[in-house]
Amino acid sequence: MKKFNLAILGATGAVGQEMLKVLGERNFPINELKLLASKRSAGNLIEFKGKKYAVEEATETSFENIHVVLCAAENDISQRLSPAAVKAGAVVIDNSSAFRLHDDVPLVVPEVNGEDVKNHKGIIANPNCSTTIALTAINELNRYSKIKRMIVTTFQAVSGAGVNGIKELDQQIKDISEGKDVEINTFQHQIAYNVIPQIGSFNEMGYSQEEMKLQNEGRKILHNPDLKVNCTCVRVPVYRSHSESITIETEKEITVEKAKELLSKAEGVKLIEDLENNKYPMPLDSSNQDLVYLGRIRKDISCDNSLVLWCCGDQIRKGAATNAVQIAEVLVKENLI
290-298: long-range pairs with CB below 8 Å, 24+:
290/22, 290/314, 290/317, 290/318, 290/322, 291/318, 292/133, 292/136, 292/137, 292/268, 292/318, 293/269, 294/137, 294/263, 294/269, 294/270, 295/271, 297/256, 297/259, 297/260, 297/263, 297/273, 298/256
Q: Is 129 a catalytic residue?
A: yes
Please tell me the distance from the alpha carbon of residue 314 to that of residue 289, in angstroms, as a whole number: 7
- Angle at CA of residue 201, ends 101 and 127, nearest 5°: 30
**Of 63, 60, 61, 48, the residue nearest 16 (C-alpha):** 48
CA nearest neighbour of 317 among 208, 246, 215, 242: 242
What pLDDT sits at residue 264? 97
Closest CA to 207 of 227, 231, 243: 231
Do the Cβ atoms of 317 and 131 come closer than 8 Å? no
**Residues 202/233, Cβ–Cβ less than 8 Å:** no
The fourth-level CATH superfamily of domain 4-127+320-333 is NAD(P)-binding Rossmann-like Domain (3.40.50.720)
CA pair distance 106, 313, nearest whole angstrom: 23
Q: Kindly state the greatest CA–CA separation across the chain.
A: 59
233 has catalytic annotation: no
* Alpha carbon distance 120, 270 (integer Å): 30
Q: Are strands 242-250 and 147-156 parallel, antiparallel or unpaired?
A: antiparallel
pLDDT of residue 173: 98
| 71, 129, 231, 312: the active-site residue | 129
Q: What is the pLDDT of residue 163?
A: 87
b/e map 8-24, b = 16+ CB within 10 Å: bbbbbbbbbbbbbbbbe
pLDDT of res. 96: 97
Can you give the pLDDT at residue 1? 78
Q: Which residues contact 55 (CB under 8 A, 6 or more apart)?
A: 11, 12, 35, 36, 37, 41, 42, 43, 44, 45, 46
Q: Which of 67, 231, 242, 311 is catalytic?
A: 242
- Partners of residue 196 on adjacent β-strands: 235
- Domains of the chain, by residue range, sit at 4-127+320-333, 131-315
| Superfamily designation of domain 131-315 | Dihydrodipicolinate Reductase; domain 2 (3.30.360.10)
Residues of the chain with pLDDT under 70: none
